[in-house]
Amino acid sequence: MTKISKRQLERYPIYLRYLFILRDSGVKNISAPAIARALQLSEEQVRKDLQVVTSKEGKPKSGRDVLELIQDIGNFLGYKDSTKAVVIGCGHLGQAFLNYKGFEKYGLDIIAGFDIDKNLIGTQVNHKHIYDMKEIESVLPLLNAKIAILTVPASVVNQVAKKLVKGGIKGVWNYVPVRLDVPDSVVVENVNLASSLAILSHKLNKGE
């Protein structure tokens, strides 16, 4: 199996989004150069990226089948059956996740939240139940959730992470700028918005 770089993986949802638009407007076929133009990528890159995920070869002149591409990328990224996820820490960011519907297309099914706030516990946010953080270990296995979206304060993050592992979580989408201390078997994807901000900030100041 060929190794896929992080950068390359990041491009697939971008292809997917464009392919959804094409599909919804009734387009049947699309070529790599056409995708490249639309998304401002290089032809070569698009061709290589698509090659990696597709089972069939593309046809010269006509390009590739849009529906097939959507299938292939979805399979490759593991969207086959949507994966159940829970939000750990239902502050403003956590609630934004509970309310957002956009990740369904990307194979993520957010089913519940956990918090320590007495006023939140037992309530529903966007029809999703908020459980007591204390119940993580007992409730998670019943919910059969594989992914945890972590949006708790930095001070408690590793204490919470320990519980998540015990509760059977296989992947953590970590929005807390702290390196998680979890077994290698648990997959962690860190999102550091301050890093993204740094790029913007640096570019802005360079230009002056």
Q: Decide if residue 206 touches DNA (CB under 7 A).
A: no
Q: Is 207 in the site for a copy of itself (CB under 8 A)?
A: yes
Count the residues of the shown chain that bind DNA, applying the rule CB under 7 A.
Answer: 26
Residue pointed to by tokens 């059956």: 81
Per CB under 7 A, the list member of 14, 21, 28, 42 interacting with DNA is: 42
Q: For 22-89, where are the E strands, in sequence order?
A: 29-30, 64-65, 83-88
Parallel/antiparallel/unpaired status of strands 29-30 and 64-65: antiparallel
Could you tell me the smallest distance in angstroms from the CB atom of residue 95 to a copy of itself? 6
Contact status, residue 123 vs residue 184, Cβ threshold 8 Å: no
Collapsed DSSP state (helix, strand, coil) of residue 147 = strand
DSSP state of 173: E
From the list 17, 18, 39, 45, which residue makes contact with DNA (rule: CB under 7 A)? Answer: 45
User: 139: closest CA among 112, 110, 121?
Assistant: 112
**Closest approach of a copy of itself to the CB of residue 60, in Å:** 28
Binding mask 147-176 for a copy of itself (x = CB under 8 A): x----------------------xx-x---
- Of 96-125, binders to a copy of itself (CB under 8 A) are 96, 99-100, 102-103, 106-108
Comparing CB distances to a copy of itself, the nearer of 135 and 186 is 186
**What is the distance between the alpha carbons of residues 208 and 203, in angstroms, rounded to a whole number?**
9
Q: Which does 96 bind (CB under 5 to 8 A by kind): a copy of itself, DNA, none?
A: a copy of itself
Contacts of 149 (CB under 8 A, 6+ apart): 85, 86, 87, 88, 94, 97, 110, 173, 175
* DSSP character string of 110-146: EEEEEES-TTTTT-EETTEEEEEGGGHHHHHHHHT--
Residue 39 touches a copy of itself, criterion: CB under 8 A: yes
In degrees and rounded to multiples of 5, residue 172 shows phi and psi of -120, 125
Binds a copy of itself (CB under 8 A): choice among 52, 77, 139, 182: 77
Residues in 56-115 that interact with DNA by CB under 7 A: 57-64
How near is the Cβ of 199 to DNA at its closest, in Å? 12
Q: Which residues pair with 63 in a beta bridge?
A: 59
Residue 179's binding partner out of a copy of itself, DNA, none, with CB under 5 to 8 Å set by partner kind: a copy of itself
Binding site for DNA (CB under 7 A): 3, 5, 7-8, 31-34, 41-45, 47-48, 50-51, 54, 57-64
